[in-house]
Amino acid sequence: MLGRGTGTLLWAGGTAAGWAGTTFLASRVSSADVLYCPVVALGVLFVSPMYGAGLGAAALAAVLVLGSGDPTRAGATGVSLAAVWAGAWVAERRRRDEQEDFERLLSLVRHISSRLDPAEVPTAIVRTAREATGAKASSLRLLAADGKTLELRAAEGLSRAYVDKGPVDVRRTPIDRHVLQGEIVEIRNAATDPRVQYPHEAHEEGIASVLCVPLRRKEDVIGVLRVYSSRPRHFSPRDVRMLVALSDHAVIALRQAELHHATLVFMRKVTHELRAPLAAIGSYVKVLLEGIAGALSTEQTDMLRRVDRRTTMLLEAVNDLLSLSRARLNKPSEPTAEFRLPAVVDAVASLMRPRAEAGGVTLMVESDPDVPALIGSPEEMEELVGNLVSNAVKYTPAGGSVSAAAMLNGECVLLRVTDTGIGIPADELPRLFGEFHRCANVRQSSIEGTGLGLAIVKTIADRHHAEVRVESEEGQGTTVEVRFPPART
């Protein structure tokens, strides 16, 4: 691909040559022929390179067909057109390259930004850096608190032995010292460049060329992003621009993940501290309502019932927030426990059936006992199924029904919860899994809730590599499906 500077020079030179060539021959051609090259130049500059090239081709055809047939005249016009067309082609090619780079960068940035887990973001960064430059491998190192060492956060395409070398002492690596000063460093041949600290190890790893860019946070450099090539290579200006742009977005993604993690930690601490006193308040209110501490007047009983209802709602919100923060903070170790989804569905249905019967709702279970086992967290899966069934029962009026089923669908295990409840407005479906989101028809009803149940469901499903699908129509009920991939051995 042509660089930006080369393309600009060719475009300017081609346009000027076309204009000057035709103007110089003004004494030998008609005034109409003299004007077409400036028009082409304006088309290239203000409208479109392809417009300019097309206009020039039309002018040449007119000269050849309608002209006197003078070969000098036709030749001069052809040379002028060729010069302008070459400039137009280069400008169009450069525009397309820039558009492709922008779209590619946007796609890669979206891939990075979709991650909020501090453990996943560095991996997403090195993967996108590798893809963007077509490199053999990539790595991300962040500066330690002491400012003297670079600690590896993620790597892709490198051997375990190369990765496990430990932190890098900045004082002993000229490359990293320069990068931490804000410079972009390119090593075209790791075997001969004196800045490479261990050329023999690089050779054994299959590293021939390296491109290093700084990770900047405001005025400070917080780390180094590298890509490695398996053959001696000169990284193009396009590669450098792409990697620098990725490094800028990488810093934003890392900061976003840090803030998200800090928010979850704070939420977990606060909800944990609130749960015990709220539970105690609820217990004392129930004791008073039962008359154990003495008889109550009608007015006192009514007040305490309101306190009891509000305390229960608040405790439910605290428990949901605690569940959500726990699900997003605690990463299960691999491999986790084995469980059978039909057994989980049966257990949840047994707990929910009294509540459903009290509300006049029929709760049915239609599971296939031969569904294969899954690998994951049985406790989290019970929470996922419990939230779905609880929502279905809560939002189904008396006389309706709820069914929960676990079945095999091809190679996937499918959990399906269906109700005949109030349904979900079509415009609410895209926001359904947002935190604290409650649909308009729910808010208008007297049904109380926290709006966190489906956010918890989505978080747990993502942790189990499952896909959640929702089909609903307002007033016609809702079906939620969770598709689990086959158990990984």
Q: Kindly list the averaged pLDDT for each block of 10 residues, start to end, along the chain of length 489.
A: 49 52 48 50 49 52 51 56 60 64 61 64 86 89 88 90 83 88 91 86 90 89 92 86 85 82 78 83 88 87 90 84 74 66 93 92 89 89 92 92 91 93 88 80 73 85 90 91 78
337-484 to CATH, choices 3.40.50.620, 3.40.50.300, 3.20.20.100, 3.30.565.10: 3.30.565.10
Single-letter code of the amino acid located at 449: G
CATH of domain 121-252: 3.30.450.40
What local confidence, expressed as pLDDT, does residue 402 receive? 95
Contact 440, 425 (CB under 8 A): yes
What local confidence, expressed as pLDDT, does residue 196 receive? 86
What residues have CB less than 8 Å from 425, skipping those under 6 apart? 439, 440, 441, 474
| Sign of the torsion formed by the C-alpha atoms of 432, 433, 437 and 441 | positive
Q: 465: phi > 0 → left, psi -120 to 50 → alpha, else beta; which?
A: left
Neighbour tally for 243: CB within 10 Å:
25
Contact 126, 155 (CB under 8 A): yes
Distance CA 114, CA 123 (A): 12
69 burial level (CB within 10 Å; 0-12, 13-18, 19+):
exposed
What local confidence, expressed as pLDDT, does residue 131 receive? 84
Q: 115: phi > 0 → left, psi -120 to 50 → alpha, else beta; which?
A: beta
pTM (2 decimals)? Answer: 0.54
Distance CA 341, CA 487 (A): 12
Query: Of all residues in the chain, what percent are helix, strand and coil, respectively (each to 5)?
Result: 55, 15, 25
Distance CA 22, CA 37 (A): 7
